[in-house]
Amino acid sequence: MESRLAEIEMKLSLSEDMLEQLNRTVFRQQQQIDRLQRELRALSQQLQADQGDATPRAPGDDKPPHY
């Protein structure tokens, strides 16, 4: 009986450690997701601002890359 109880306690301890590691991983991933979403919004706003200021151009206005 004692050995079974010790085994259960050991498994519980390992499970708690794994759960804590998973919680830290999820927390770091959420921070990264939040940061990436902020960057995406900033880039989207920058793109919209750049498109709003741009004047339409004809395809022939661009110089070929070898010039």
Name residue 38's amino acid: R
Instruction: Say what the pTM is.
Output: 0.63
End-to-end CA distance of the chain: 85
The predicted pLDDT at position 37 comes to 98
Half-sphere exposure (CA, 13 Å, Cβ side) for 5? Answer: 2
Query: What Rg value do the Cα atoms of the chain yield, rounded?
Result: 28
| CA separation, residue 12 to residues 4, 18, 26 (Å) | 12, 10, 21
pLDDT in tens, 1-56: 899 999 999 999 999 999 999 999 999 999 999 999 999 999 999 999 988 776 66
